[in-house]
Amino acid sequence: MAEAGRARILVVDDAGLVRLYYRQALEAVGFAVEEALNGVEALEKLLRAPADLVIVDVNMPLMDGITFLRALRRQPLPLAALPALVTSTEAGAGDVAAARAAGANLYLVKPLEPAALVLHARLLCGVPA
Amino acid sequence: MPLIRARAGEAAALPADRASLIAALEGGSAGERLHAARALAALPGAVAPLSAALHVEAEPAVREVIFTALARLGCEEAADALLPLLRARQASLRNGALAALAAMPGRLPARLPALLADPDADIRLLACELARALPAPEATTLLCAVVERESEPNVCAAALDVLTELGGPQALPVLERGARRFDATPFLRFAFEVAIRRIRASADTDP
Amino acid sequence: MTDEDFRRLCDFLYRRSGMVFTEAKRYFVERRLAERMRVTGATSFASYFARLRSDQPGEVEPFINAFTVNETYFFREEHQLQCLSTDLLPARLMERPAGRPLRIWSVPCSTGEEPYSIAIWLLEHWPQVDAYEIEIVGSDIDTRALEAARAGLFGRRALMRLPEALIGKYFEPVDDEHWRLIADLRQSIHFSTVNLVDLAQTRAHGRFDVIFCRNVLIYFDEASRRMAAENLYENLLPGGFICLGHSESMSRISPLFEVRRFADAIIYQRPGERGDG
Ligand SMILES: C[S@@+](CC[C@H](N)C(=O)[O-])C[C@H]1O[C@@H](n2cnc3c(N)ncnc32)[C@H](O)[C@@H]1O
């Protein structure tokens, strides 16, 4: 559960190491972090408790990141307007274009540097540094 | 008491022969295509029509049941039909094929070495995830080889994620060498640290 | 168990079931793990974990069992019953052609507590219950459980969550410890045998407006879960709903359903047919 006043970020990635890494980097600067392993779990979590930002990978089992974004943008407001940072491994033109079309706000190539992760998370959540 | 006792089920009559199922799979409504794909899987010679449908099917639910059907068939032909989809541009096709292949661990040992050495880093990365479906000793051997030679950080990270779950102490020397190679990438430094710590912990407590 | 072993185990449980255990639950997890290691004769965490990962011989089911409640009882997860009368049935009524009964499936129903709870709940809490025909079907693979369900004889534990007034209204005392459901109610539920992973058997049950499939899929392996979920998808009318158990998540089962949030529960829905259906 997010503490009052703390911006809450949902990290969606099937790699446990990635989720743990983001969690540590983001919690260190004061974000509250939740995790999901695929798009279906991300939707379940977001419907239970709102977030300020979702960071989502493309390749995931059962529901990939692109399909998740489309489902997210079909939800009722305010959920549909949740900022989404998409991460993927290759700057493959296919994934970037698909992520943009599906409603990504920002696309970053993995592996992320913690400083870049925190910077973009702050910008997308509207949290001052 | 307003509740009424149910009558026997009211399942609609559906075609069961191969020709009508293939016709339904090609031209039916979404519900009919979905049912046809599932029913077809019970008949011989299903791989070809199912994989053909996969390439043209637009409805996600129908694609999903085709992936499940191919996974259940689990034959060489089904595995070969799924492999090229790992290169699909659409993320949902890639990941559907990946899950179906992961559900046929018996077909993987013959195919994984080539996938793990593929020139396309994205394929190598998905192949690491497939190794999770193998018994721990086999997976450890394959993934240690990846860590030894891989230059792409994301592929190495994928191998580490699986090794963190299933790796045994024989992976430790490989991980220690690999950690030095990727020392300049913060995420990889972290990933190696966690993998080594976790494997060492259960190695220590083993009698 | 070391910290790292604890994380490894929790990661595995999470990946496989979606259940999350934090450091605060460590004692709970350790006790259950120790019990399973004792029963299986495992001498180290590493050897037990290897056995669990390979699921040989069938260790996942008893392991997950140790973390969940396997006992069924009346008004279990009452919030879902609340959701049924407040949101699900009204939503189904809007789609239902006149004259077609509303059909509800409790599968697996075990010894009957769940389908009977649905019946009692609707009689008590759904004002429109008299206006529509409602069929409730209870099915399970275990024929002895079904016999007990049909007999409708229950002990104190099964009734612990039922208000006294409802016990008085719907049950007749047999002795100090047992109550029998009144005949009217027993006869209002149709019980049948079904194996959830058998398409022909599930199909024979027809299509439903709402399916309760609670506390069974979590024990299945991945292939059986997907198979069962796809069978149940075909057992739902377009727009129909499926409710899972409290520790279960569709995110580990199947992507076929849409996730819906209602006031009282997260429920999954078969999408409506788009034009061509
Ligand atoms: C824990 S009970 C759940 C009862 C009830 N739904 C509840 O949540 O309280 C699990 C039931 O699943 C049934 N079951 C197990 N495998 C099954 C299968 N393949 N098909 C149908 N039922 C099954 C068992 O017989 C048992 O009665």
Peptide bond into B15 cis (omega under 30): no
Query: Could you give the CA distance from residue A37 to residue A23 in angstroms, rounded to a whole number?
Result: 13
* Residues A71/A103, Cβ–Cβ less than 8 Å: no
Angle at alpha carbon of residue A69, lines to A68 and A72, rounded to 5°: 85
ipTM score of the complex?
0.93
Among B107, B92, B7, B101, which residue's Cα sits nearest to residue C222?
B101
Q: Indicate the SS3 state at residue B138.
A: helix
Confidence of residue B204 (pLDDT cuts 50, 70, 90): low
Which residues in chain C have their CB less than 8 angstroms from residue B1's CB? 123, 184-185, 188
Is residue B98's pLDDT more than 80? yes
Q: DSSP string spanning C221-249?
A: -HHHHHHHHHHHHHHEEEEEEEEE-TT--
Taking the C-alpha atoms of residue B1 and residue B207, their distance in angstroms, rounded to an integer, is 65
Structure tokens at B38: 């599932």
Cβ atoms of A37 and A14 within 8 Å: the answer is yes
Give, for all 277 residues of chain C, the pLDDT tens digit.
Answer: 889 999 999 999 999 999 999 899 999 999 999 999 999 999 999 999 999 998 887 899 899 888 888 889 999 999 999 999 999 999 999 988 888 999 999 999 999 999 999 999 999 999 999 899 999 999 999 999 999 999 999 999 999 999 999 999 999 999 999 999 999 999 999 999 999 999 999 999 999 999 999 999 999 999 999 999 999 999 999 999 999 999 999 999 999 999 999 999 999 999 987 644 3
Instruction: Grade residue B202 by pLDDT with cuts at 50, 70 and 90.
Output: confident
Catalytic residue, from C5, C8, C26, C32: name it: C32
- Cβ–Cβ < 8 Å for C216, C196: yes
Q: What is the pLDDT of residue B159?
A: 98
C222 is written with which tokens? Answer: 């991945």
Contacts of B188 in chain A (CB under 8 A): 111
Residue B186 exposed, middle or buried by CB count within 10 Å (0-12, 13-18, 19+) = middle
User: Mind giving me the DSSP string for C130-156?
Assistant: GTS-EEEEEEES-HHHHHHHHHTEEEH
- CB of C28 within 8 Å of any CB in chain A? no
A51 or C97, which is more confident: A51
Task: Quote the CA–CA distance of B92 and A66 in Å, as a whole number.
Answer: 8
Residue A1 pLDDT > 60: no
Tell how strand C266-269 and strand C258-261 pair up.
Answer: antiparallel
B173 Cβ under 8 Å from any chain A Cβ: no
Cα separation, C101 vs C110, in Å, equals 24
Q: Is C108 in the pocket of ligand 1 (CB under 6 A)?
A: yes
Burial of B19 (0-12, 13-18, 19+ CB in 10 A): exposed
The structural domains of chain C, with segments of one domain joined by +, span: 3-65, 78-269
Q: In 3D, which of B137, B198, B148, B153 has the Cα closest to residue B175?
A: B148
Minimum distance, in Å, between the CA of residue B95 and any CA atom of chain A: 6
What confidence score (pLDDT) does residue C276 get?
41
Secondary structure, 3-state, C86-105: HHHHHHHHHHCCCCCCEEEE
**What are the structural domains, with CATH classification, of chain B?**
1-105 (1.25.10.10), 108-207 (1.25.40)
Distance CA C209, CA C236 (A): 6
Q: Is C44 in the pocket of ligand 1 (CB under 6 A)?
A: no
In tens, the pLDDT along B133-146 reads: 999 999 999 999 99
Centre of ligand 1 from the C-alpha of residue C141, in Å: 7
Under a CB-based contact definition with an 8 Å cutoff, are residues B101 and B70 in contact?
A: no
Residues for chain A: how many in total? Answer: 129
Ligand 1 proximity of C196 Cβ (cutoff 6 Å): yes
Count interface pairs A-C at CB distance under 8 A. Answer: 39
The mean pLDDT value for B41-49 works out to: 94
Give yes or no for a contact between A7 and A31, defined as CB atoms under 8 angstroms apart: yes
Question: In terms of pLDDT, which residue wins out, B50 or C64?
Answer: B50
The encoded tokens of residue C191 equal 């019980």
Q: Are the folds of C3-65 and C78-269 the same?
A: no
Contact A37 C14 (CB under 8 A): yes
Atom index in ligand 1 nearest the CA of residue C72 equals: 9
Q: How many helices (H) and strands (E) does chain B have?
A: 12, 1
Q: What is the pLDDT of residue B11?
A: 56
Contact of C274 with chain A, judged by CB distance below 8 Å, is answered with no
Is residue A78 reached through a cis peptide bond, with omega within 30 degrees of 0 on the bond before it?
Answer: yes
C240 CB burial (10 A radius; 0-12, 13-18, 19+): buried
* C55 has catalytic annotation: no
Which candidate in A17, A19, A21 is best for mutational testing of the B interface (most B CBs within 10 A)?
A17
Q: Which residues of C touch B68 (CB under 8 A)?
A: 226-227, 230
**Which amino acid makes up residue C174?**
V
- Quick check: A35 and A19 in contact, CB under 8 A? yes
Top pLDDT among A44 and C99 is at A44
Question: Taking a C-beta distance cutoff of 8 angstroms, is the pair C186, B2 a contact?
Answer: no
Beta partners for residue C244, in sequence order: C213
Average pLDDT in chain B = 92
Which CATH architecture group holds C3-65?
Answer: Orthogonal Bundle (1.10)
Average pLDDT over residues B69-88: 96
What domains are there in chain A, each with its CATH number? 8-125 (3.40.50.2300)
pTM assigned to the model: 0.95
What is the reported pLDDT for A129? 76
- C140 has catalytic annotation: yes
Verify whether the Cβ–Cβ distance B122 to A62 is below 8 Å. no
C246 has a chain B CB within 8 A of its CB? no
DSSP bridge pairs for C193:
C140
C150: how many CB neighbours lie within 10 A of its CB? 16
Q: Indicate the class that CATH gives domain C78-269.
A: alpha beta
Give ∠ CA C70-C72-C75 in degrees, rounded to 5. 135
DSSP secondary-structure letter at C18?
-
Mean pLDDT confidence for A18-33: 97
Ligand 1, atom nearest to C213 Cα: 6
- The burial of B65, by beta-carbon neighbours within 10 Å (0-12 exposed, 13-18 middle, 19 or more buried), is given as buried
Selected catalytic residue, list C140, C186, C214, C270: C140
Residue of C73, C172, C93, C169 lying closest to C124 (CA atoms): C169
